[in-house]
Amino acid sequence: MNKKQKLLEDCIRSYGKVLVAFSGGVDSTYLLAIARRVLGKNNVLALTAVSETYPAAELLRARQLARQLDVVIRVIKTNELRNASFKKNPRDRCFFCKNELFSKLDAIAQKRGMVVCDGTNASDAGDYRPGRAAAKKWKIVSPLAAAGLTKDDIRALSKQMKLSTWNMPAQACLASRFPYGTPITLKELAKVEQTEELLKRRGFAVVRVRNHNELARIEVEPGNIISLMNILSDASFLARIKKLGWRFVCVDASGYTMGCFN
């Protein structure tokens, strides 16, 4: 791992100045911390995008982490919901989202003479990620992947560096809660976000509410399924969830599965 981190540091050093696509998750936080250490404050910019497809709590976390790392952060608005192709939710939906994001990051980076970096790591190669085509289109670099750093490496190295994100659950945009072909609307995104927030307040750190029109299919870690069923057996709590717009609420007996619609 330390050899890979040295490769990462050399890679970042070669860029001179970097703009980091910063979500506040495990990967981008580690990348930002290394960039700050290698290049110094004046040569690093964290850029966080906000839109209806990302939980509002993520922006607060990103700001807090940037402050802790002593990095300048800039927040921009992306408008993927204005794109009819994105709203139709095709199998390459992620391309349209990333294309919107990277086009704006590229414009900012060009003005500042910076290289745009994202948090893609070596473990991501095994997943279906159409957004990588957008990264290639805009010449976004992925230094974590280039250094061969896996997700487990990044968590372990983040722990060594005492980054609070080292054991943070995986995050994904709210659009990932919809089966391909199901239209994505502001109303349905809000239903998902509000339901997940209710469940997180009840102690479920890892939770996905899959939107099947009138039905909410809830995924939690396998060890928490019984707890979830017990909580949902509380008629008043279940009523609060249904009030958000669901007719049916069910628990997925398989538990949380990353990228289940892939």
Q: Break the chain into its structural domains and give their ranges.
A: 2-160, 174-251
The whole-angstrom separation of Cα 170 and Cα 219 is 13
Percent of the chain at pLDDT exceeding 90: 92
pLDDT (tens digit, 9 = 90+) per residue, 10-32? Answer: 999 999 999 999 999 999 999 99
Percent of the chain at pLDDT exceeding 70: 100
The whole-angstrom separation of Cα 160 and Cα 146 is 21
The whole-angstrom separation of Cα 218 and Cα 210 is 6
Q: Report residue 241: phi and psi, to 5°.
A: -70, -45
- The pLDDT score that the predictor gives to residue 26 is 97
Q: How is residue 198 annotated by DSSP? A: H
- The pLDDT score that the predictor gives to residue 262 is 80
- The pLDDT score that the predictor gives to residue 222 is 97
Average pLDDT over residues 227-249: 97
Q: 167 near 155, Cβ under 8 Å?
A: yes
pTM: 0.94
CATH classification (class only), 2-160: alpha beta
The whole-angstrom separation of Cα 257 and Cα 130 is 19
For the domain with range 174-251, which CATH number is right: 3.40.390, 1.10.287, 3.40.30, 3.30.70?
Answer: 3.30.70
CA angle 102–108–112, rounded 5-degree value: 135
Structural element, H or E, at residue 11: helix 2-15
User: What's the mean pLDDT when you consider all of the chain?
Assistant: 96
Residue 126 pLDDT > 80, yes or no? no
Buried residues in 60-83 as b, exposed as e (16+ CB within 10 A): ebbeebbeebebebeeeebebbee
**Residue 8: pLDDT band with limits 50, 70, 90:** very high
Residue 2 pLDDT > 80, yes or no? yes
Bridge partners (DSSP) of residue 18 are 44, 115
Q: Report residue 246: phi and psi, to 5°.
A: -95, 140
